[in-house]
Each structure stands twice: as structure tokens, then as C-alpha cells.
A and B are shown apart, each in its own frame.
Chain A
Amino acid sequence: MPRVHFNYSQIEPKVQHALYSALGQNIAVGTEEVDAGRVFVKVVSAQFNGMSAKDKQNAVWKALETLGPEAQAVSLVLAFGTDEI
């Protein structure tokens, strides 16, 4: 399967927007460019406190899937509650 290349500077703001739109403004989002213009994301939010790892991942990916095919540009998301950091 050929590796798809993404334009990080175009996709990164869309990723941020999708996360803030779905999860609210009281989250902290960190992003980093990885191979092929992909976006590595870290999200911290108090709303994740006490949630299972599965539920945290489901919440962030539900937000990111609003990007449609561009969600493929997100390589990995780490989601933490404020009680974990």
C-alpha cells in the first residue's frame, strides 16, 4: 500500500478545529508533525477524568471522523484526563 502524503500545515488547523468544536474550549491540544505530513495529537481534558481508555479514544475519534477522509492524516492520538498528568 503506497504511503499517502498529507500537507501538515493545512491539515493541522482542521484537526484542532474538529477537536475544539466537539469537545469544547476547555481542552488542551498538542500537535506534532510525523512522517508523511501526518499529525500526532495529544489531548488533555477534565472531561476524560475517570473515563476508560476506550471511551477516551472513542470520544476523540468521533470528533476527528467529522474530517472525513482527512482523518487519515491523524496518525495517533493520546488522550488524558487532567487527573493523569
Chain B
Amino acid sequence: MPFRDTIEGYRRAATCRFADARELMEPPTRDDQRSDAKKRHLRGGMYLAGYTVECLLKAYLIQQMSVQTLGDAMERLDERRLKRGMQPVKNIARTAAGHQIAYLVQLTDLESKYTGYDRRLWGRVGAWTSSWRYESDTVKWETARDFLEDVEAVVNWLQAKLGA
């Protein structure tokens, strides 16, 4: 099914990327005897896991603004920000700003609306960057495990805030 810039589109993408990330935490089936078999895909897993959070935040922003697409959500956010004398929102639908978890979460009302908002957790997950795709150094297994656990905590918390 082609991607649609909607809540359901982002939710489906989030589910797929998190499944991909978890798969990359497992022992590989190709070249499984190589010395780096247990860790060569960990950075890839962390990279894909970050998109899970990005997608869910975009889905939440669409819901928060009571619109149908992320583009519409940006327009409505801009209207509100203009009234408050704030800078217009960066283009989160088509540019690098849309890959910044820290930026996206601070556009939401999650912190003010829910007491369960965990700033330390969001600080850890917010350190994710899409430029991890360029990194070739291996990551410690514990580092990747911790990151995916943090992403899972965000997924569990945020999914419950998204309507059925």
C-alpha cells in the first residue's frame, strides 16, 4: 500500500520500522559465523527504531491539530504560532527538520497534557539522528538494547494517546 501522509499512514510505518529494528537486533542468517555477526546490524536497528518515534509523533501532531494530513497540521500550527508571535514551524513534512525527534516532540502538547511525560526518556530518544545511517563504527549491544527499550517505552506510551 503506498504511503499516505495521514495518521494511519504514519502509524503503519511506525509499526513496520520497529519490527525491522527488532529484527536487526537478532543474530543474522547471512554470514552468521563472521566475528562481527552479533553486532554489525545494531546501528541499523537503532537507526530504524528512531523512525518509529518520528512517525508516531507525526501521527500525534495530525491528531492534535484535528486535521487529516501532516501538511494540514503544519498550517494549523503556524496559525496558532503566528497569533502568539512565534516563529513559523519548520517544514516537518519534507525536510530534515521532520527527522528531529526533539523538535517534533516540542511541537506537541504531550508535556502539558499528560503527567506521564518523561523528560529524561524523551531526552534519550531525542538524541537520535537520521545521520546514524552514515555511521560505520559498531555499537555496544547494551547501547542498542537500551535505545530500543526506550523506543518501546515511547511507543507504548504514545500509542495509547492515539485514537483507535
Q: Which residues of A are in contact with B by a Cβ distance under 8 Å?
A: 1-4, 34-36, 38, 40, 52-54, 57-58, 60-61, 74-80
On whether A34 and B106 interact (CB within 8 A), knowing A52-B143, A75-B111, the answer reads yes
Instruction: Pick from A2, A3, A54, A60: contact of B146, CB below 8 A.
Output: A54
Determine if B119 is an interface residue (Cβ-Cβ < 8 Å).
yes
Cα of A1 to Cα of B114 in the assembled complex, Å? 8
Instruction: Pick from A1, A36, A76: contact of B122, CB below 8 A.
Output: A76
On whether A61 and B119 interact (CB within 8 A), knowing A35-B106, A75-B111, the answer reads yes
Instruction: Pick from A40, A53, A58: contact of B102, CB below 8 A.
Output: A40
B 37-53 contacts with A by CB, 8 A? none
Residues in B whose Cβ lies below 8 Å from that of A74? 119
Cα of A79 to Cα of B109 in the assembled complex, Å? 23
Q: In the complex, what's the smallest C-beta–C-beta distance from B60 to chain A, in angstroms?
A: 15
User: Is the interface on chain B under 10, 10 to 19, 20 to 34, or 35 or more residues?
Assistant: 20 to 34
Q: In the complex, what's the smallest C-beta–C-beta distance from A7 to chain B, in angstroms?
A: 15
Q: Of A4, A54, A58, A80, which is in contact with the most chain B CB atoms at under 10 Å from its CB? A: A54
On whether A57 and B106 interact (CB within 8 A), knowing A1-B112, A75-B111, A80-B127, the answer reads no
Q: Which residues of B are in contact with A by a Cβ distance under 8 Å?
A: 86, 102, 105-107, 109, 111-113, 115, 119-120, 122-124, 126-127, 142-143, 146-147, 150
A1 touches B120 (CB 8 A): no
A57 touches B102 (CB 8 A): no
A1 touches B119 (CB 8 A): no
Q: Of B107, B115, B123, which is in contact with the most chain A CB atoms at under 10 Å from its CB? A: B123
On whether A77 and B123 interact (CB within 8 A), knowing A1-B115, A35-B106, the answer reads yes
* 24 contacting pairs across A/B (C-beta < 8 A): A3-B112, A34-B106, A35-B86, A36-B112, A40-B102, A52-B142, A52-B143, A53-B124, A53-B127, A53-B143, A53-B146, A53-B147, A57-B124, A60-B123, A75-B106, A75-B111, A75-B119, A76-B105, A76-B106, A76-B122, A76-B123, A76-B126, A77-B119, A77-B123
